[in-house]
Amino acid sequence: MNPLLSVRELTVGFETPKGPVRVVDGVSLELAEGETLGLVGESGSGKSTLALSLGRLLDEPPAFIDPGSRIEYAGVNLLALDPERLRTYRGKAIAWIFQDPASSLDPVIKVGHQIAEAVCAHSDVGRKAAWNRAVELLALVGLNDPRDAAHCYPHQLSGGMRQRVAIAAALAGEPKLLVADEPTTALDVTLQAQILALLGDLRERLGMALLLITHDLGVVADIADRVAVMYAGRLVEEGGKEQVLKQPAHPYTEALLRATPRLHRTGPRLPAIPGAAPDPTSWPSGCRFHPRCRYAWDRCSSEEPSQLSGETGRWVRCWLATEPQRRRG
Amino acid sequence: MGEVLAGYRATAAARMTELVRAESLVKHFPSGGWLLGRRPPVRALNGVTLSVLRGETLALVGESGSGKTTLARCLLRLTAPTAGRVVFDGIDLFSLPEPEIRKLRRRMQLVFQDPAAALNPRMTAGAAIREPLEAHGISRGSEAKARVSALLAEVGLPPGLAERFPHELSGGQRQRVVIARALSLEPEFLVLDEPVSNLDVSVAAQILNLLADLQEKRGLTYLLIAHDLSVVRHMASRVAVLYAGRIVEIGPCDELYERPLHPYTEALLSAVPSPDPLQSKRRVILGGEPPSPRRIPAGCPFYGRCHHTRRDDRCAGELPVLREVGSAHWSACHYAETLGARR
């Protein structure tokens, strides 16, 4: 079966006074219909730039997408489309939700109108029908009184309700793929659990694929089928959720899991990762994680590993895969 | 409220080691005015009594709007309560004349959530740390400079960093500078308001370890405000759970996490996603949202969202009093015992 989304050697950067800076560097990934891929990374890893570049939502310039890159949606290379054609894919094929729902909603327009507007943009319906569809969408995302809520302005809703509205607006074009960039990071844990349950439920009911971008390994464990880990502009590991979270192959994933505080693990000292994430203006030589890696040896600083695969859909970008005995000690 | 106070008396031993005490704190913010019309006040705190013991880390947890930050601001005398007292080391904070307050201020400091906002962008890291030293007349000139270097070293930063501006520092480095600045006056009591919520996991772990080291070395007392319950588990000795401006449960950290005795605490804990995919997902997904602080219902404020099997008319009509339900473990649920027994 052909994948719904296939990203090949995607390189995205920004022109800066100091020259071009590649923030996403040769990333390849695939997403099947109805599948949920968790993309994990810390700030500066390039994960949000990747999310935006999928619909060419970045201003070019200063952003640029390397000509060798391909983003195929259902077999169509989105990067080869003219702007007019590309627009028909945004919202209808791929839709986005972001961390801060307030920023994607207009403060002076009733939320019902905002969603109805999105409905009209994607299909040829009258205003009345669009409004009714907006109310339906608000009910779909679990608002108690969708009719009343449609008449509210964003500031009259709580943070959790605003995120539901943003999701409803994203669903207006009936997308096959929802890209959710840190959708629960700004919310309390109780609301986070509600929104994650909602996303899981919508995915089932609408048969949507979900690209969930997060720094939180707990969120990934909750909802993803597969997990890809991003560090310094590169994917470093990919696999099934349980493989990656139970048997991380890359030292970065391993260290991240160890540094994550757990509810049922006590003790004041956490095994922190030394140093800080590198700056995109000067990625380290060799493996980009080597300065912070507990296993690094001379080869790691001079030569960058390629994607070394084990079984299908499971690979790691680390020399340890060729010399597993080094993992001990 | 009087009942709450009577019901929550610290033991004599605890009182001896107590550093800060809040007594029946109430804070209502008036709202409305000529433009918006009369609206009910925001009832941020509705009778909170608690003690922070010397050398401990007391965590305040709860959803946004539960009153965590307002409580912390009252304890630091940054905002005056509508009713109630705050006692710091035996001194009533709100009956003290201004010059005395100045001396007391040095003993209590606040570490903010967002280190980028807490630092003046036009001031170097060194100047930011030196400023309180000079403002309080503790040291100046070369002496102050030496102290800045010592403080930088204490928070794990190289001395050369003193010349850098905030935008030249990473998020973790900025948070270390904020901590060094808070430590410059040699405080005993630090309020940590979401100290790692803006940091990446790998950096957050470094800062949490630093805070633990500093507490051990300097004998600091922490009040930790955090929405991340996993972070609280690592840091806190005791935990107070706030809901709608009231403490609904307070107890030793391990005890409270392993055996929560309030349905709200139970729901909060079960909402935390675990990175362990095999962990059983017996989750209580809490529906709805906390009551508006303008319209807190009568009876138990958690009634509308409660999943406790024993929930009944008594809960709807009668406000539960915080009472001791285990060793140093207090709950404000009429049916706390049956919640624990069910497991």
Residue B262 corresponds to which tokens in the numbers above?
Answer: 């309030």
Nearest Cα to Cα of residue B333 among B207, B209, B246: B246
At residue B1, the pLDDT reads 38
- Cβ of B234 within 8 Å of Cβ of A268? The answer is yes
**How confident is the model over B100-136, as pLDDT tens digits?**
888 888 999 999 877 778 888 999 999 999 999 988 8
Residue located via tokens 């054609």: A85
In this model, does residue A22 exceed pLDDT 80? yes
Residue located via tokens 């509508």: B82
Bigger pLDDT: B11 vs B324: B324
Lowest mean pLDDT among A150-159, B70-79, B138-147, B285-294: B285-294
Mean pLDDT of chain B: 86
Lowest mean pLDDT among A9-23, B166-180, B213-227, B282-296: B282-296
Global confidence as pTM = 0.86
Query: Does residue A185 belong to the interface with chain B, where contact is any CB pair within 8 Å?
Result: no
State the greatest distance between any 2 C-alpha atoms of chain B, in Å, as a whole number.
69
In this model, does residue B3 exceed pLDDT 50? no
In this model, does residue A123 exceed pLDDT 90? no
Lowest mean pLDDT among A50-59, B24-33, B224-233: B24-33
By the 10 Å C-beta count (0-12 exposed, 13-18 middle, 19+ buried), A2 is classed as exposed
Residue A239 corresponds to which tokens in the numbers above?
Answer: 């696999």
Return d(Cα A123, Cα A174) in angstroms, integer. Answer: 10
* Chain A residues within 8 A of B203 when measuring between CB atoms: 272, 276
Residue A251 corresponds to which tokens in the numbers above?
Answer: 């030292």
Mean pLDDT of chain A: 88
Return d(Cα B103, Cα B168) in angstroms, integer. Answer: 34
Residue B155 corresponds to which tokens in the numbers above?
Answer: 């928070």
**How confident is the model over A259-300, as pLDDT tens digits?**
988 888 776 688 888 888 888 888 999 999 999 999 999 999
- Give every CB contact of residue A227 below 8 A, 6+ residues apart in sequence: A37, A38, A39, A40, A220, A238, A239, A240, A241, A244, A245
**How confident is the model over A219-247, as pLDDT tens digits?**
898 889 999 999 999 999 999 999 999 99
Bigger pLDDT: B33 vs B60: B60
* Beta strand ranges found along chain A (DSSP E): 5-16, 19-31, 36-40, 63-65, 70-73, 76-77, 94-97, 177-181, 209-214, 226-231, 234-240, 308-309, 315-316
At residue B37, the pLDDT reads 62
Q: Assign B10 a pLDDT band (cuts: 50, 70, 90).
A: very low
Nearest Cα to Cα of residue B248 among B191, B343, B325: B325
**How confident is the model over A86-97, as pLDDT tens digits?**
888 888 899 998
* Chain B residues within 8 A of A265 when measuring between CB atoms: 233-234
Tell me the mean pLDDT in the region A48-62: 89
Return d(Cα A208, Cα A187) in angstroms, integer. Answer: 23
> How close is the nearest chain B Cα to the Cα of A121, in Å?
32
Lowest mean pLDDT among A30-44, B200-214, B281-295: B281-295
A residues 108..127 contacting B (CB < 8 A): none
**In this structure, what is the dihedral angle of CA atoms A168, A174, A176, A181, given to the nearest 10 degrees?**
-20
Chain B interface, Cβ < 8 Å to A: 63-64, 170-173, 200-206, 208-209, 212, 227-231, 233-235, 254, 257, 267-269, 271-279, 283, 285-287, 289
- Cβ of A190 within 8 Å of Cβ of B63? The answer is yes
Return d(Cα A192, Cα A194) in angstroms, integer. Answer: 5
In this model, does residue B11 exceed pLDDT 80? no
In this model, does residue A26 exceed pLDDT 80? yes
Its ipTM equals 0.82
The full length of chain B comes to 343
* Beta strand ranges found along B79-174 (DSSP E): 83-88, 91-92, 108-111
> How close is the nearest chain B Cα to the Cα of A55, in Å?
27
Lowest mean pLDDT among A159-173, B47-61, B315-329: A159-173
